């Protein structure tokens, strides 16, 4: 079981890492902004191809060796899990190294060819673009939040029938494997953590909605498609993942109150189904958003380009822009969002709930 | 309506913003009663500082083109009867531009054509 889980997760990471250069925003190449006029340059195409082939090749070798290693001898679950985690990190490190290598090369290429000289930098927006935004409304979050509050009340009402030991951790098979003494706090601890997570997701949703819809002066329609699909589908994915987390944790909580519902194969299937849902959801999301700005043919007539924001992106990955009131911005290497590190609000939304969850879990 | 800002222009960004919004109203792309985006959303979408948008909104408000209503944002004002004083002001503003054109060698007929071309893009309110 744990081999299957680790294999699927690692395969997923490998596939995503391999295809990232073809899923990112059209005018960003390895974290470097390239004017629309030059994105079809043969050197750029070559870099993309080399990156993908290298990552794919190494992934196949690593995953192949993992299979051989597991099947070759009798391995205990612990060993399989530890090795699984190590190869996942190895894969991410490998693709990061290739990214950094090609980031440097692309930067040099842009400089040597003087691509930004003689191009007028433009910033553009459409006053009606906010009306086309199709992100979910915030109040859909009330549904999981109310359900959690209800479960909390239900737990307190059934305090007498709770077991003397409250589970605090579950293994990959959905089996509780760590416990703590029964107190009114420990009884609702899991639901409390869930509630904080729900509020955190709601905070992320709201901050995303307030963040800028960045259009490109040279490919207005393509950039509009991409920004709007990124916003729409990421709000869906965020909400679906939250629903799945809510169901998973509520199930654990209910299983503690009524142990009889946790019998049979359901126990095995629920965590596995959760993982599969998150992975498949992320994959569909990445492809949908990744393709959203590639299908349109754009021709740039004027000698213009988008304002070069490379100076705000450290290593093409970390965004620091004091002037931008956005809390989240679109990632440069990958599909999704990254935080504007120059905006303190972002830290509060991400780190405050994590600290709270940490405190609840350990105090 | 599309707003396009030239980042490295000599004209300050807030002035470019003000001018483009006014032109947008003149062309009929946005109409009286329409609301402009909030300062935060506008600045985030365009990728400029919030102060820049704020400054432009205040300039537009001073000119009587928008009214800033707390909570509901900036709304484009309906057309009012223009005062004689204001008309004189417009003539005064127009004079140096036309004079400059003539001094630079544009003839009167061409100036009139310029004005007609510009008017052709816009509609009367």
Contact A182, A162 (CB under 8 A): yes
Residue A330 has pLDDT above 90, yes or no: yes
DSSP helix/strand/coil, A164: coil
Pairing of strands A32-33, A28-29: antiparallel
Q: Mean pLDDT by 10-residue block, N- to C-terminus, for chain B (125 residues)?
A: 91 95 92 91 93 95 90 85 88 93 93 91 77
A180: pLDDT confidence band, cut at 50, 70 and 90? confident
Domain limit, last residue, from A117, A146, A176: A117
Asked whether residue A143 falls in the same domain as residue A277, the answer is yes
Cα–Cα distance between B119 and B113 in angstroms, integer? 10
Supply φ then ψ for residue A306, to 5 degrees: -80, 150
DSSP helix/strand/coil, A1: coil
What secondary structure does DSSP assign to A242-260, as a single string?
HHHHHHHHHHHHHHHH-GG
Alpha carbon of A45: minimum distance to chain B alpha carbons (Å): 29
Supply φ then ψ for residue A337, to 5 degrees: -120, 155
Are A127 and B41 within 8 A, CB to CB? no
Asked whether residue A266 falls in the same domain as residue A316, the answer is yes
Chain A CB contacts of B41 below 8 Å:
130, 210, 212
Residue A264 has pLDDT above 70, yes or no: no
Domain limit, last residue, from A95, A117, A139: A117
How remote is the C-alpha of A308 from its chain's centroid?
26
Chain B CB contacts of A220 below 8 Å:
2
B33 contacts: CB under 8 Å, gap ≥ 6? B75, B76, B78
Nearest to B44 among A122, A126, A325 (CB): A325
Contact B40, A133 (CB under 8 A): no
- pLDDT, position B125: 62
Domain limit, last residue, from A91, A117, A143: A117
Chain B CB contacts of A122 below 8 Å:
4-7
Nearest chain B residue to A210, by CA: B41
Residue A296 has pLDDT above 80, yes or no: no
User: Could you report the per-residue pLDDT of A186-218, keeping only the tens digit for each?
Assistant: 899 999 999 999 999 999 999 999 999 999 988
Give the rounded percent of residues in chain A with a pLDDT score beyond 90: 66
Are A127 and B8 within 8 A, CB to CB? no
Cα–Cα distance between A175 and A169 in angstroms, integer? 8
Which alpha helices (H) appear in chain A, and where do they start and end?
2-23, 42-72, 77-112, 142-157, 184-210, 220-257, 266-291, 344-362
Asked whether residue A325 falls in the same domain as residue A192, the answer is yes
The number of beta carbons lying within 10 Å of the beta carbon of residue B70 is: 5
ipTM passes above 0.95 = no
Alpha carbon of B58: minimum distance to chain A alpha carbons (Å): 18
Cα–Cα distance between A270 and A172 in angstroms, integer? 10
> What count of CB pairs under 8 Å joins A to B?
71
Residue A263 has pLDDT above 90, yes or no: no
Asked whether residue A137 falls in the same domain as residue A45, the answer is no
CA dihedral B92, B93, B96, B97 (to 10 degrees): -140
Burial of B64 (0-12, 13-18, 19+ CB in 10 A): exposed
Residue A162, domain extent: 119-363
Chain A CB contacts of B6 below 8 Å:
120-122
**At CA B89, angle to CA B83 and CA B90, rounded to 5?**
95
Residues 27-86 of B with CB under 8 A from A: 30, 36-37, 40-50
Cα–Cα distance between A50 and B108 in angstroms, integer? 63
User: Could you report the per-residue pLDDT of A39-80, keeping only the tens digit for each?
Assistant: 889 999 999 999 999 999 999 999 999 999 888 877 777 888
Asked whether residue A228 falls in the same domain as residue A339, the answer is yes
Are A325 and B2 within 8 A, CB to CB? no
**What are the tokens at A71?**
């099947």
- pLDDT, position A76: 79
Contact A338, A316 (CB under 8 A): no
Chain B CB contacts of A130 below 8 Å:
37, 41, 45
Domain B13-76: state its class. mainly alpha
Asked whether residue A72 falls in the same domain as residue A126, the answer is no
Nearest chain B residue to A309, by CA: B47
Residue A363 has pLDDT above 70, yes or no: no
Are B45 and A220 within 8 A, CB to CB? no
Cα–Cα distance between A30 and A349 in angstroms, integer? 28
- pLDDT, position A172: 67
Asked whether residue A127 falls in the same domain as residue A80, the answer is no
Are A127 and B40 within 8 A, CB to CB? no
**What are the tokens at A293?**
């700005």
């Amino acid at each position: 079981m744990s081999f299957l889980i680790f294999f699927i997760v690692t395969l997923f990471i490998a596939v995503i890492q391999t295809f990232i250069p073809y899923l990112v925003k059209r005018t960003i190449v390895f974290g470097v902004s390239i004017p629309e006029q030059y994105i079809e340059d043969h050197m750029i195409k070559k870099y993309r191809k080399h990156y993908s082939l290298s990552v794919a090749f190494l992934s196949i070798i690593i995953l192949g060796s993992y299979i051989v290693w597991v099947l070759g001898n009798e391995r205990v679950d612990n060993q399989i899990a530890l090795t699984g985690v190590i190869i996942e990190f190895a894969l991410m490190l490998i693709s990061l190294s290739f990214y950094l290598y090609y980031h440097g090369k692309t930067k040099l290429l842009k400089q040597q060819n003087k691509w930004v000289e003689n191009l007028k930098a433009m910033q553009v927006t459409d006053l009606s673009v906010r009306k086309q935004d199709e992100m979910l409304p915030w109040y859909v979050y009330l549904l999981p939040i109310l359900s959690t509050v209800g479960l909390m009340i239900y737990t307190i009402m059934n305090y007498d029938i709770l077991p003397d030991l409250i589970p605090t951790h579950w293994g990959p098979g959905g089996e509780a494997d760590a416990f703590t003494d029964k107190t009114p706090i420990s009884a609702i601890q899991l639901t409390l953590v869930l509630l904080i997570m729900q509020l955190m997701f709601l905070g992320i949703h709201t901050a995303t909605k307030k963040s800028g819809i960045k259009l490109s002066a040279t490919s207005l329609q393509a950039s509009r498609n991409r920004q709007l699909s990124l916003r729409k589908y990421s709000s869906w994915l965020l909400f679906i993942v939250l629903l799945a987390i809510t169901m998973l944790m509520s199930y654990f909580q209910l299983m503690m109150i009524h142990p009889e519902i946790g019998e049979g194969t359901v126990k095995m299937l629920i965590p596995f189904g959760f993982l599969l849902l998150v992975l498949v959801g992320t994959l569909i999301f990445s492809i949908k958003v990744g393709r959203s700005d590639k299908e349109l043919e754009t021709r740039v007539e004027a000698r213009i380009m988008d304002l070069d924001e490379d100076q705000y992106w450290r290593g093409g990955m970390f965004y620091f822009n004091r002037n931008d009131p956005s809390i989240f911005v679109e990632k440069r290497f990958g599909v999704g969002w990254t935080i504007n590190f120059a905006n303190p609000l972002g830290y509060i939304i991400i780190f405050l709930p994590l600290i709270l969850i940490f405190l609840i879990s350990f105090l | 309506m599309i707003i396009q800002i030239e980042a490295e222009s000599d004209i300050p960004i807030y002035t470019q913003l003000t001018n483009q919004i006014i032109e947008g109203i003149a062309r009929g792309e946005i109409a009286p009663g329409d609301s402009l985006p909030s300062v935060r959303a506008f600045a985030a979408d365009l990728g400029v500082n919030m102060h820049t948008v704020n400054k432009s909104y205040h300039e537009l408000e001073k000119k009587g083109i928008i009214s800033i209503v707390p909570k509901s944002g900036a709304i484009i004002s309906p057309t009012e009867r223009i005062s004689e004083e204001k008309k004189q002001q417009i003539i005064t503003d127009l004079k140096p531009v036309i004079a400059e054109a003539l001094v630079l060698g544009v003839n009167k007929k061409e100036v009139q054509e310029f004005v007609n071309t510009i008017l052709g893009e816009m509609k009367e309110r």
